Structure 1
Amino acid sequence: MKSMDDVKSQLWRGNLMWEERRMMLPEHKEAWLKLQQEENKVELHGELDDDQWHGIGEIVMDALNHTLIVRLTYWNDGYYIDRECYIYKVDDIGKRVRIEYGPSDDSIREWIDMRVIYDVQRI
């Protein structure tokens, strides 16, 4: 008759017996990582109310006129992005804001649609 320790060691060995033969193909790993990224995405926020837009507009115009750094939170392809940037230009007709960020000698400029902006804060 086997002792309890022998049974436990056999069960433990049984779980690890095929461990070295497990593997994940690169295609499977890539698909798994892509699936995890898709699960973390969020939808675009709803319409902001007039008070929120007024607060955002006030900060944006103040930053534009006085060259202040702001923290801009906006939605991009399923994720919210925070940028510490300067407001470079405001396009009222196209309803977008041009921001500037990066090292001072090699700054990056890009347009952000106003409908995806979630928050702007002074720094």
Structure 2
Amino acid sequence: MSLSREQAAQALGMKVREIIAVDRVDSGYAVTTHDGQRTLVDAHGQRVDRDAVHPAPAGDPVTPATPADPATPVAPAVTEVPDGTADAVLKWVDGDPQRAQAALAAENAREKPRTTLVEALERLTQG
């Protein structure tokens, strides 16, 4: 059994769109949120320690630090999402799931995320 993004969001009291990744670890699941923080959640979907929030591992939380297969190329980390209109952001994303994930994290970090842009970016990240 694996922990879904929906279950992780519920365990952390967050929106699903704020959950970037859920990775299996020895003691449960490491949940990476839009701000790059990782929180440990046990196999039952319960937060292990409310103070156990740690920075994500080195590298962009959207881009794996190392490829699973050395023959598989890894795109460079996306570091700068344009701060402009929704159309400008979508043009920059250009259908790239990694850029969409980075743009989604940046948009969710705004004081007032643009719901239409968030929905479009979520569709792009789900492939």
TM-score by length of 2: 0.21
Which structure has greater strand proportion? 1
Structure with the higher helix share, 1 or 2: 1
